[in-house]
A and B are shown apart, each in its own frame.
Chain A
Amino acid sequence: MNRRKIGVYVCHCGGNISDYVDVEKVVDAVKDEEDVVVARTAMFTCSDATQQEIYDDIRELGLDGLVVASCSPKLHTFTFRGVAKRAGLNPFQYTQVNVREQCSWAHTDDRQGATEKALRLVRAGIARTRLLRPLEPTVVETVPKTLVIGAGIAGLRAAIGLADIGLSVVVVEREAEVGGWVKDFGPMYPRDKEGRELVRQLEAKVRQRENIALFTSAEVVRKAGSFGDYVVDIKTHGKSSMTMQIHVGSITVATGFDSYQPEEGEYGYGIDGVVTLPEYKKMLDAAEGSLEYHGRPVKDVAYIYCVGSRQGDDGPHQYCSRFCCSAAVHSALELYTRDPSARQFHLYRDMRTYGRYELMYRESREKGSTYLKFAEDEPPAVRKGADGRLVVTIRDQLTGQKEVEIPADLVVLVTGMVPRENDALVGALKLPVGRDGFFNEIHPKLRPVETVVDGVTICGACQFPKNASESVASGLAAVTQSAAMLKQGRAELDPQVASVDPQLCTDCGVCYATCPYDAISPQEGHEGRRVAVIDPATCKGCGGCAPVCPERAINLEGYTQAQIKAMIEGLAREVV
């Protein structure tokens, strides 16, 4: 076998790595390894200057393998693939070694151990790189059509955007009407435009466009095919129940959220006069003048914030729901427009009326709203008073820790957003669900609407709590991303996928069930035998099938049986 020419770059990460890993020692230990022709450290490997240095090395030394030992491959795989590609090296002849998350950050108490581990990982990376071969991306033709699931404000706006950019759009809505939550809303912040009016406008625009097909009372029941040409089964309910099959190039998920439903007794929920934020909004939107509840006038309103949000380490909803502070403050302002003499008390843990919504917070105080702060471990309590009115008790952090009783005609539990139950859809689309139950993007900053499933984007509040503006903004981001994927008419897929050696395959069937993407199927006709075949466009390269094959007939490109063996040898070698 010809000798390889491998370049190794070990990153300081400005101290993030080099404070706990002796990067110079790692470089010293590998610079004379077989096939390594250059090994260096860099303060920031991802910097333009070091990228240029790698570029020059590839060109001048004719490198045919690249090892970068820095941070997680989640962060910079595409950065260094790009460097390789620009310099004329096949981008798949590069290995990312993670010596930050796996070494320096994990072993801050053990500099020597962290350094040894880094060295072993780098050696494994070199071993893998030695056996890498150039790969070309799989090219697929794309269908110029997008499926939008969910016709709330984000889905509707996305559908219009997609249609106007020249793609065909199919919108599927589970409910009988479009508009989601917003269709029932009155004035919304900022600017107090009515939600129902916004939805009316969007629906009219959707109906004007000939390249949008809208199905209500309909659900996605199955997805097959692969990115560029997904085959989706849609089932409609009601009088004309039917199932139809469509071909789409990409899918945008905008299935929205559910509102947190407090348990009986949680902050007095269940007592007459204790309502959730959506219930309160409905009352406000319906009220002409001052507010009434069950025939009684409402003069004193107490709001309790963070109900169903920020539940601590044990709760299912540990996150801040983001929109609710602003929504509650806006509701308070809405009440003032109906009844300027209403008295409003806001019991909060932290006010987060971010950005320009801070102005609403200020306005509410100027109009007389009083804010009281409670501690996480001492939440306010709600009970029915002797006179039949409600009583809220709070230890107010802003009044010298004094316990205060607040009489109220209405207690509003400012409930947050929770992920919507969507198990069937998650199953059909293989959507990635985060620990909080919302759908996950690939990268919160750089790839905010794409998912790990190629061609499937997410937007709106199915991703995380968002207000209407943010939902629409993400919907339009999904439009751009879908258009970027489909407008070229072809797409390049990662070629690091698994394949079956038909000579070794015995059609035992173990791998079929292992694949989470349904990429493996039996095919007749290999020298008269039936064997397993993996569709390279559907395979995500997860590697789940390779280890279960009893014949070792499956190899994952980039992580072949031979490479894994070589990496283990690299890891296990004595550290001198």
Chain B
Amino acid sequence: MAVARPTFIDEVRQSEQFNAAACMNCGVCTAICPMGLEHLPREIFRYVVLGMEEEVLKEQETVFSCLLCKLCEENCPAGVHITENVRSLRHYFDRKAFRI
């Protein structure tokens, strides 16, 4: 059982642009991803908004595999700033996993 930690999102958020919660879970981003990244961005963002930190930490490779090509962001019907959110996540890994 994962325990939600609502304050976690504040640790990941880098700017006001961070809007992972705006996602409506349609799945267009996953379907369209040229890298075929299954867990990006929809599912990882959910772990962030729910504060499931352990699950986020498992996704390090996915987060850094993203090309930041913005194909998903261009097609997102909910206006999620996906690349900005991924950058926020990379900053989080820098601090948390790589301690830089």
Listed in ascending order, the chain A residues whose CB lies under 8 Å from chain B are 299-300, 343, 345, 362, 365-373, 393, 396, 398-400, 402-407
The answer to the question of B52 belonging to the interface, with a C-beta cut-off of 8 Å to chain A, is yes
B25 within 8 A of A: yes
Give the CA-CA distance A405 to B50 in the complex, in Å: 9
What residues of A have a CB within 8 angstroms of the CB of B50 in the complex? 370, 372, 396, 399, 404, 406
Known: A299-B6, A373-B25. 18 other contacts (CB 8 A): A343-B7, A365-B22, A365-B24, A365-B78, A368-B21, A369-B21, A370-B21, A370-B49, A398-B25, A398-B46, A400-B43, A402-B2, A402-B55, A403-B1, A404-B52, A405-B1, A407-B4, A407-B6
Interface residues as binary, B1-24 with A (CB distance below 8 Å gives 1, 0 otherwise) = 111101101000000000101111
Report Cα–Cα, A406/B23, bound state, in Å: 19
- B93 part of interface (Cβ distance < 8 Å): no
Contact A362 B78 (CB under 8 A): yes
Q: Which residues of B contact A396 (CB under 8 A)?
A: 46, 50
Q: What are the residues of chain A within 8 A of B7 when measuring CB–CB? A: 343
The verdict on A399 contacting B3 (CB below 8 Å), with A366-B22, A370-B21, A404-B52 known, is no
Say how far A174's CB is from chain B's closest CB, in angstroms.
Answer: 43
CA of A399 to CA of B54 in the docked complex: distance in angstroms? 14
| B interface residue count range (under 10 / 10 to 19 / 20 to 34 / 35 or more) | 20 to 34
Chain A residues whose CB sits within 8 angstroms of the CB of B3 once the complex forms: 404-405, 407
Chain A, residue nearest B4 (CB):
A406
B9 / chain A contacts, CB cutoff of 8 Å = 368
Name the residue on B nearest A300 (C-beta): B6
Q: Which residues of B contact A366 (CB under 8 A)?
A: 19, 21-22, 79
Q: Which residues does chain A contribute within 8 Å of B2, judged by CB atoms?
A: 402-405
A369 contact set on B, CB distance < 8 A: 21
Q: Which residue of A lies closest to B39 (CB)?
A: A400
List chain A residues, Cβ under 8 A from B19: 366
10 residue pairs bridging A and B, Cβ less than 8 Å apart:
A300-B6, A362-B24, A365-B24, A366-B21, A368-B9, A399-B46, A402-B55, A403-B2, A405-B2, A406-B50
Q: Which of B24, B43, B78 contacts A399 (CB 8 A)?
A: B43
Q: From B4, B22, B43, B49, give the contact of A405 (CB < 8 A).
A: B4
Query: Is A343 a contact of B78 with CB atoms below 8 Å?
Result: no
A300→B7 CA distance, assembly (Å):
10
Chain A nearest CB, measured from B95 CB (Å): 22
Give the CA-CA distance A508 to B69 in the complex, in Å.
90
**In the complex, chain A residues whose CB is within 8 Å of the CB of B79:** 366
Q: Which residue of B lies closest to A399 (CB)?
A: B46
Residues from chain B with a CB closer than 8 A to the CB of A365 are: 21-24, 78
Partner of B47, one of A367, A399, A407: A399
Query: What separation, in Å, do the CA atoms of A373 and B47 have in the docked complex?
Result: 14
Rank and list the top 3 A-B pairs by shortest CB-CB distance, nearest first. A343-B6, A405-B3, A406-B4
Shortest A152–chain B CB gap in Å is 34
Q: Convert B59-83 into 0s and 1s, putting 1 for each residue whose CB lies closer than 8 angstroms to a CB of A.
A: 0000000000000000000110000
Task: Name the contact of B22 in the complex, choosing from A300, A345, A362, A402 (C-beta under 8 A).
Answer: A362
For B42, give the chain A residue with the smallest CB separation.
A398
- Residue-by-residue, is B34-56 near A (CB-CB < 8 Å gives 1, otherwise 0)? 00000000010011011010010
Which residues of the other chain, A, contact B55 by a CB distance below 8 angstroms? 402
Q: How far apart sit A191 and B4, CA to CA, in the bound complex (Å)?
A: 33
Chain A residue contacts of B23, Cβ below 8 A = 365
